[in-house]
Amino acid sequence: MKRILDFYADWCHPCQSMKPIIEELGKKYTIEKVNVDKEGDKAGLYEVMSLPTFIVMKGQEEIGRITGITTKEKIEELMRQ
C-alpha cells in the first residue's frame, strides 16, 4: 500500500501553505506527518534536507519525492506510479 510521508515544521511558512492541500489529499490517501523538530532521526534516515518534503512510499520503498511547494496534482501523479 502506498502512503505519503509529509516532512514539515511548524515554523516553516511553505509547509503551512501546503497544509490545506495535504489535508485534502488525506481524505483520499494515507499521510504520515513527520515533524522534523520532534522526529529529526526520521528526517535524517530519509535524508530530508529541505522543507516541506513529500515522499511517496510503496511498502518500505521510496518511489518518489517532491521538495518545496507543489500542487495537489503533482503529488497525485507520484501516487499513481
Q: Which residues are catalytic?
A: 12, 15
Does residue 68 come out as left (phi exceeding 0), alpha (psi in the -120 to 50 range) or beta?
Answer: left
Cα distance between residue 49 and residue 7, in whole Å: 10
Question: 30: helix, coil or strand?
Answer: coil
